[in-house]
Structure 1
Amino acid sequence: MKPLEGIRVLEVAMYGFVPSAGAVLADWGADVVKVEHAVTGDPQRGLRQVGTMRVEGDPNPNVEHANRGKRSIGLDMGTPEGREVLDALIRESDVFLTSFLPHARTKFRIDVDDVRAVNPQIVYARGSALGPRGIESDKGGYDMTAFWARAGIAATLTPAGVEGMISPPGPAFGDTISGTNLAGGVAAALLKRERSGEPSVVDVSLLSSGVWAMGHGIALSAHVGRHMEAPTPGAHGAPTNPLSGLYETSDGRYLSFVMLQPAKYWADVCRHIDRPDLVDDPRFADSRQLAANTDQAVAILRVVIGSRTLAEWSERFATLSGPWAPVQDSLQVADDPQVRANEYIVKAGELELVANPVQFDVTAAELGPGPEFAAQTEEILLELGLDWDRIIALKTAGAVT
């Protein structure tokens, strides 16, 4: 049994952020009903071009990533008939999940009080750009603006002298992280409701998620009174630790060392790179000497590591005691044996998709494909107890697709 089996989530949301939360909840076993505009559907369905990559035909990973495992109903919430259906769905749901801004929630009468008037026990979860309070709480945004730029990530990653800013590494980067945060909040609220009988209002914003992701650096900056600075491109990265940084291999790939106690690992590294003479070198005798002579150690390691390919080092470093990793691009990650062994990428219909990061009982999530637009409208209406005459009347009125 999946953790959220028996829980129904009603999702009134668009694009990547909040639907990502619905996708995680569906991965965890919830029945997620996605409400889409009766004519246009979720605008995310029209996203075909991402950077230099274009998707032709269906299935479309730009849609499936945040919508796998759901059911879709095409519904016009602005009509009286559509409202009746929405209220019926609210009554049958445990969670109301929305990305609509305050003015839109007021317009469609789906704010907290409106929804709770229909179902007092429902967990109300909303994702926003900038949070539910403050003078900008009614403003929209995307992960590029609220998560990446405003939360300090872009500025922290962009080296001095670089024109513009470093862009996010991929589509929906902040959306997916924020959606997972929101799903976790919903799960906690469901547990609270089960124990106390009290439903919660759950809020997660792109800004809050970005600030949380930068939490260590922001706290450090606030404490010492200076902002974090990105290292110069090509620099080792750690001025007092030769075993924490990037090294280029002979085939133009990179590997990353992160050994925060360099003296503990220095001898083992030296043996693995066939330089046992460095073990007793007085320049690197202890942590203090390694810190003082980091530049010299880095210079040596660059030459040695630059003499072999990443594949050769991967074989040699299989027994290395300190933490290290190959630097991989998005295509290489998909072929990583460790990723595959843990089933972090799984089949969902015709596509392979990345599973959410949580596993229960050492078992990979089972992902269903994303729904076609309004594909389950009739199925969902029948579950609500409507007969075919009523369903046809709703279609005729334009309330449902």
Structure 2
Amino acid sequence: MILHSQSYSSMELGQESFQSSIHSGRTFSPTFSSLIGCCARLGQLSDAIDVYQDLVNSGVKPNEFVYGSLINGFVENGRVEEALKYFHHMEESGISANQIVLSSLLKAYGKVDSLDGAKVLYERLKDLEGARDIVASNSMIDLYADRGMVSEAELIFEKLRAKGWANEITYATMIYLYKSVGMLDEAIDIAGEMKLSGLVRDCSSFNKVMSCYAINGQLRECGELLHEMVTRKLLPDVGTFKVLFTILKKGVSIEAVTQLESSYHEGKPYSRQAVITTVFSMVGMHALVLESCEKFTKADVKLDSFLYNVAIYAYGAAGEIDKALNMFMRMQDEDLEPDVVTYINLVRCYGKAGMVEGLKRIYSRLKYEEIEPNHSLYKAVMDAYTDANRHDLAKLVSQEMRYEFYSEQKTGSETKDESDEATSDLDDV
């Protein structure tokens, strides 16, 4: 057998023990089971089969532990047909499957989307001593969830919950089921219960709960969950950032989100921190934002323009207008050209500070196309004039915006498309 170098010593010892057992007439199925299990975990299934075949050829009858290790190895590596083949060998040998074997096979039926086969195995688990294990029950819930079979999944879930056996996988699957059939209230309830039960422990469970809160518009709760995740030193994964970008689409200009997404996918320095900082800022967690901005604005590396944009946005949202304007001046000192995101963030700062002249300068450049006309920037200028208590100028910009972009109907359609896109993204998570 050819094995990975990292497993040479333990596997060689196992093989020597195996050969010694055969030559001396001693056979210990637990040893063979462990050896097969080790091969399977390393993905060395051909080696596992060799050990099994050597065992059979030596005249030793494999027991349920040997078959269990082999079957589970095939299931975990996605080779379902071979798992079922050895299960049939096991039954033909007159060996009754134990709970572990049946649970592994139930997972196998789940991988090939065979509900009928899974139901038969799940019923067989009734006849064994002890309760059905959580792996088997979760596999059944998952199969029902993929088919939108709510009542069947709920029946198993309620039994697990009543006995205190439901784990994070159980809850996450029920959240997925409820979301997939449009039962948002139930998904939110389960997400809240999952959090209160202390089962939000890894990236996957955090992502599931955050996506529910985001769909329901509970953006502050999303920020708090993200902070808890960071505090626990859980590294956000791809799924986390997918949720975060969808959250940002609900409160930040689409241009800013696109810029952050591009920076993240390109792997630019501090891009992940910039996304997290923007989320915290958007939901009003300003103390965390200011601390975060201090870190990357004082970094030794040269900052990209997207980081300046994040800092301007964050300082402005926190009411630190002077710091925001200082970041803009620093950006110019670095010979970085302001883009539409920069201008959107700047006009918001001017509006908060009542700096009408600053707004007029940017709007004049926009109107005379020194800055490329942009719907989000027009709207930001209009909102900034409103914040500065210049409703007359806000009305004027509104009229110009309608003229520039033809009609309010088109504007409403674009807004709806972005909202639908955000909801669709969350459904995918």
| Structures share fold, TM-score greater than 0.5 | no
Larger Rg: 2
| Larger RCO (alpha carbons 8 Å, 6+ apart) | 1
More strand per residue: 1 or 2? 1
More helix per residue: 1 or 2? 2
